[in-house]
Structure 1
Amino acid sequence: MEKKQAILLAGVTALAATSSACQAKQKAENKKPLNIVFIMTDDHSLQTISAYDKRFIQTPNIDRIANEGVLFANSFVANSISGPSRACMLTGKHSHKNGFIDNNHHFDGAQQTFPKLLQKAGYQTAVVGKWHLTSNPTGFDYWNILIGQGDYYNPFFIDNGVKKQYTGYATNITTELALDWLGNKRDKNKPFCLLLHHKAPHRTWMPDTCDLGMFDDKVYPLPANFYDKYEGRLAAAQQEMSIIEDMDEVYDLKMADKENEVRTKSKGLEGAGRAMYNRMNPDQKAAWDKYYDPIIKDFKEKKRTGKELAEWKYQRYMHDYLSVIHSVDRNIGVVLEYLEKNNLLENTLIVYTSDQGFYMGEHGWFDKRFMYEESFRTPLLMRLPGGKKGKVDQLVQNIDYAPTFLELAGVNIPNDIQGESLLPLLEGKKPGDWRSSLYYHFYEYPGEHAVKRHYGVRDSRYKLIHFYNDIDVWELYDLKEDPSEMNNLYGKPGTEKITNRLKEELKKLQKQYDDPIESKLAK
């Protein structure tokens, strides 16, 4: 009798398990793939997002993504310059593999990208805003992109091949076009992947008229290394991205006076600065003049020189840049509100990042390009419905975005993709075999800002960089003891073991990513 009851109980248990498994399978099959909203700005420094750093500005809408999701504390790029960085994100591969190593190259739109793979898996795909990859977008059901770098005021877009000019401010227009696609142009029976890519806050940091002067009551402390002398760092000394020496008063700082009395050392930049002003319509010019004319008058009267001029330029730069960031943050709020009102917030992965970091006066610089922290690091915030909340400390890189989106969509990740999916980290898991170091390679020399070609490796504490081509210089930094990277330790007694270990790690990564640069240089 007991034996029969045991057999009956086992059968009931097995039936329940089978039923439970079937229900789970059916639930999984009925679950719709998550949508993806991939928001990227251009040259947004990590320092000017209050989720990371509260010294300069409050960005409550960008912070919301972090507060409701995760903040990646150690997020980096593979090549700190706009076009190549975008190519790395699209392909999940380092620059030498996707072929777009610098902005002078042509992006091969025929190659494999994550939008194409998502499209094949049934996703509606769209890119709106900045593209900056020389060739037209491929793999998108809809694309409406700025021409080249784009203009802040009254910009031209190319709408699926048709050139159109829009009246207004680029950040607002980009948001409006993206939300119009979400609401009116997509197939709502399909999951979607929207790349919402802003021009802002790219040089020349032109604020919206409603944001002019909003930070003028603040005086920002100079970075401790603003007057860096670059001892022991030859490549750093030879750059041309100094606020003091290379930031143009007319082009960058808007001193385009009506009398043409303000003249600068770069006729090309000076002329471009005046051309940007002339793009505005009468109403925009009136608001612009009301704000800038008194500043121009003061600039011409004071005739500042030396440190006084350098520090005036820094404050103007910060005020303009942060005003542009304020507009970006406001527009992110518009997007989040739209997603929430249209019941899309809880079935959509939201990503906020920049194509690289940016210098806010550290080392006396603006721009990016170097493997030093301020440009190598990039903000990365992700909100995954039902996912982890808090901070992620693992080393991640922008080649990781493509495999993340593919895994989220249930698409097989091709073997030639070099990045790693971040989905386990977003789900709160701690993979034991996660990477312990990152590889970087910058190619654009000779070029604007004269940053030498270099490659390097970074782990959780140390960084080794090799500048090559027309120089042969190594740099080593202890990021724990010297986070500002002022003290090059390469060749100093006591660093031999660290240097050798990092050189071996560098060779390992070059082999892993199939970038045999060392063997090429040896020939």
Structure 2
Amino acid sequence: MKLPAFLHFLFCFAFVSSAVSAAGAKPNVIVILTDDQGYADVGFQGLPASKQALTPNLDRLAKEGVVFKNGYVAFSTCGPSRQSLLTGRSASRFAVEENGFFGTAKEIFIPRALQGTGYATAMFGKWHCGPDGDSTGELSPKGRGFDQAYLTSAQDFFMKKTPHPKAWAAGGMREYGPYVTDAITDEAIAFIREHKKQPFFAYIAHHAPHSPFCSKEPLMRRIVEHDPSYKAAFERMKTHTSAKGRKASYAAPNFDFGNFKGTDLDQELLRLTYLSMLLAVDDGVGRLLDTLKKEGLRENTLIFYLSDNGGALARPNDLGSVNLPLRSGKGSVYDGGVRVPFVMSWPGTLPQGVTNTAAVVSSMDIFATTVKLAGGKMPTDRTMDGVDVMPFLTGKKEGSPHDVLFFRRLGRQAWSIRNGDHKLDAVALQPKMIRKGEDKSMYPEGGGFYDVQNDITEVKDVSAAFTEKKNTSRKIYEELTKDFPVPLDTLPGAKPDNDE
């Protein structure tokens, strides 16, 4: 159901409530984060490519909540995006704008802000907020305040090195064998069951559908059943080979697509593999929702669902994902890099089945929203970029949570700022920033200015008609960022710890 902004406000106003006061218990909060998911790659988006995705449980989650068409993350790459989500601050404020660089231990992550509130906290899956292999240091999940963590390896979908979760000790592994997406979900479910009598915060960070492209044959078969046009690609899977680099392999039921950086990839098979990886996430969401319902926790649990950034498009093929109609993808300051599928679901407290086309929300809002619901204290000694969005959704506050959002990759000579309905994209005219077939005229002098509320494609430059607002947007950006530290990746001799 899509509602005009005014009617949407009135609709939400009818849901003014607080789970804390109504239910007498503090709400649970779950964050489900995918990796490099395309904007179109989920059924609830309702876009042409969305029909290819088999996501019944994510669609169910959306029907039980609010889908935000203006949902953003702070960065278009994994590490800075995750650190911004968990701190409620743009990682630019602590000099992190590229993968492999980390904020110091002084940065406050969500679980630390929840200490003293009675919440059990845990993370599961991909960390990317501290050095690889560090499970106990000050930049590890436990060092950042999580009570427990199940860390998994980004390159190990079939779990040849990643330890099996404790949840599998008494069975429960899928019939097709170890798969890291299942392991992440199952360990999270075990945590929920263990802590069902106290409030909890669970951060579930999937590797899927990020490369390398590794899937299970039963998952791929289900995609073919959903969309028979992939039948020929499925048959090619059995004999697929890669020309160089990572070797393809098929040892039923495991399939590893292999090299994904060539110029002659089997794009249809890659898309099939990608969609099947996303299906494993969807299966996990279904098991999670069923667990919450069975344990009587669903109406006291707020769930956020989003991707860490846009789909990966630039090496040099589209790596399985579809961002259309957004412009560009992962790594870009265009909306294709930072606008993502975004859902908030809390039956009984938030409206259900609503597509919100007006509110501009950010992954950074998860911090303030969670801390406020938990009765914690927001940090007062630093600038916070995220806000508590609940008052805007329950009708206690009017307007949008954000009038202004900015995005930076200064090491790549790129930044952008959204100001109301408009967005200024200042991108250097570097060949590596221009994808094959793109026209340099799409990169206007002084930056393109777009009405992203009504032109989601960021193609029609409206600089001439909005000269004053464009100039104002630039001044706002310069004022907001004037005291920011120099990004760590631009310092002499800078070397990332990892660069996934």
- Give the Cα–Cα distance (whole angstroms) in 1 for the partners of residues 208 and 471 of structure 2: 41
Alignment of 1:279-290 (within 5 A): 285-288=251-254
- Give the Cα–Cα distance (whole angstroms) in 1 for the partners of residues 407 and 429 of structure 2: 16
1:241 matched residue in structure 2 = none
- Give the Cα–Cα distance (whole angstroms) in 2 for the partners of residues 132 and 345 of structure 1: 29
- Give the Cα–Cα distance (whole angstroms) in 2 for the partners of residues 30 and 193 of structure 1: 18
What is the DSSP-based 3-state SS (H/G/I as helix, E as strand, rest coil) of the residue aligned with 1:420?
coil
What is the DSSP-based 3-state SS (H/G/I as helix, E as strand, rest coil) of the residue aligned with 2:43?
coil
What is the DSSP-based 3-state SS (H/G/I as helix, E as strand, rest coil) of the residue aligned with 1:48?
coil
Say if 2:74 and 2:84, in contact at 8 Å, map to a contact too. Answer: yes
- Deviation of 1:467 (Å): 3.2
Greater CA radius of gyration, 1 or 2?
1
- Give the Cα–Cα distance (whole angstroms) in 2 for the partners of residues 95 and 499 of structure 1: 25
2:398 matched residue in structure 1 = 431
Relative to structure 1, the CA distance from residue 505 to residue 99 in structure 2 (aligned partners, 3 Å threshold; closer, same or farther) is closer
**CA deviation digits over 1:97-117, x for unaligned, max 9?**
244322121343453111111
- Deviation of 1:168 (Å): 0.4
Question: Which of 31, 49, 52 is matched with 1:38 structurally?
Answer: 31
Question: Which of 112, 115, 121 is matched with 1:119 structurally?
Answer: 115
Question: Which of 277, 286, 294 is matched with 1:324 structurally?
Answer: 277
Say if 2:119 and 2:201, in contact at 8 Å, map to a contact too. Answer: yes
Query: Which residue identity is paired with 1:330?
Result: D
Deviates more, 1:59-68 or 1:101-110: 101-110
Question: Which of 406, 409, 413 is matched with 1:453 structurally?
Answer: 413
- Give the Cα–Cα distance (whole angstroms) in 1 for the partners of residues 405 and 22 of structure 2: 37
- Give the Cα–Cα distance (whole angstroms) in 2 for the partners of residues 474 and 254 of structure 1: 50
Relative to structure 1, the CA distance from residue 285 to residue 477 in structure 2 (aligned partners, 3 Å threshold; closer, same or farther) is same
Relative to structure 1, the CA distance from residue 506 to residue 158 in structure 2 (aligned partners, 3 Å threshold; closer, same or farther) is farther
**CA deviation digits over 1:454-513, x for unaligned, max 9?**
1111234332122369899642142467533345566xx5553343232233234436xx
- Give the Cα–Cα distance (whole angstroms) in 2 for the partners of residues 317 and 439 of structure 1: 33
1:502 matched residue in structure 2 = 473
- Give the Cα–Cα distance (whole angstroms) in 1 for the partners of residues 121 and 302 of structure 2: 14
Say if 2:216 and 2:254, in contact at 8 Å, map to a contact too. Answer: no
**CA deviation digits over 1:181-219, x for unaligned, max 9?**
2224x4x54311111111111112322231125445555
1:49 matched residue in structure 2 = 42
Query: Which residue identity is paired with 2:146?
Result: F
- Deviation of 1:40 (Å): 1.0
**CA deviation digits over 1:340-371, x for unaligned, max 9?**
11111111111111111215799964460102
Alignment of 1:269-308 (within 5 A): 270=245, 272-273=246-247, 277=249, 285-288=251-254
**2:190 aligned with 1:180, yes or no?**
yes
Query: Which residue identity is paired with 1:152?
Result: F
- Give the Cα–Cα distance (whole angstroms) in 2 for the partners of residues 120 and 76 of structure 1: 30
Structure 2: segments with no counterpart, 5+ residues: 1-19, 132-138, 231-236, 320-328, 432-442, 491-500
1:315 matched residue in structure 2 = 268
Moved over 6 A (4+): 253-256, 360-364, 469-473
- Give the Cα–Cα distance (whole angstroms) in 1 for the partners of residues 164 and 93 of structure 2: 29
Query: Which residue identity is paired with 1:497?
Result: E
Relative to structure 1, the CA distance from residue 30 to residue 152 in structure 2 (aligned partners, 3 Å threshold; closer, same or farther) is closer
**2:85 aligned with 1:106, yes or no?**
no
- Give the Cα–Cα distance (whole angstroms) in 2 for the partners of residues 369 and 428 of structure 1: 35
Q: TM-score, normalised by structure 2?
A: 0.72
**2:355 aligned with 1:391, yes or no?**
yes
Number of aligned pairs?
Answer: 412
- Give the Cα–Cα distance (whole angstroms) in 1 for the partners of residues 386 and 422 of structure 2: 21
Alignment of 1:3-18 (within 5 A): none
Structure 1: segments with no counterpart, 5+ residues: 1-26, 221-252, 265-269, 278-283, 297-304, 446-451
RMSD: 3.8
Query: Which residue identity is paired with 1:357?
Result: G
Question: Which of 197, 201, 206 is matched with 1:193 structurally?
Answer: 201
- Give the Cα–Cα distance (whole angstroms) in 2 for the partners of residues 209 and 428 of structure 1: 47
Say if 1:62 and 1:332, in contact at 8 Å, map to a contact too. Answer: yes
2:93 matched residue in structure 1 = 97
- Deviation of 1:327 (Å): 1.6
Query: Which residue identity is paired with 1:47?
Result: A
- Deviation of 1:333 (Å): 0.4
- Deviation of 1:128 (Å): 0.9
- Give the Cα–Cα distance (whole angstroms) in 1 for the partners of residues 111 and 310 of structure 2: 24
Larger RCO of the pair (alpha carbons < 8 Å, separation 6+): 2
**CA deviation digits over 1:225-277, x for unaligned, max 9?**
xxxxxxxxxxxxxxxxxxxxxxxxxxxx99864xxxx533xxxxx1x345xx4
Query: Which residue identity is paired with 2:43?
Result: S
Question: Which of 228, 243, 266 is matched with 1:263 structurally?
Answer: 243
What is the DSSP-based 3-state SS (H/G/I as helix, E as strand, rest coil) of the residue aligned with 1:431?
coil
2:387 matched residue in structure 1 = 420
- Give the Cα–Cα distance (whole angstroms) in 2 for the partners of residues 292 and 159 of structure 1: 23
Say if 1:38 and 1:350, in contact at 8 Å, map to a contact too. Answer: yes
What is the DSSP-based 3-state SS (H/G/I as helix, E as strand, rest coil) of the residue aligned with 1:73?
strand
1:207 matched residue in structure 2 = 215
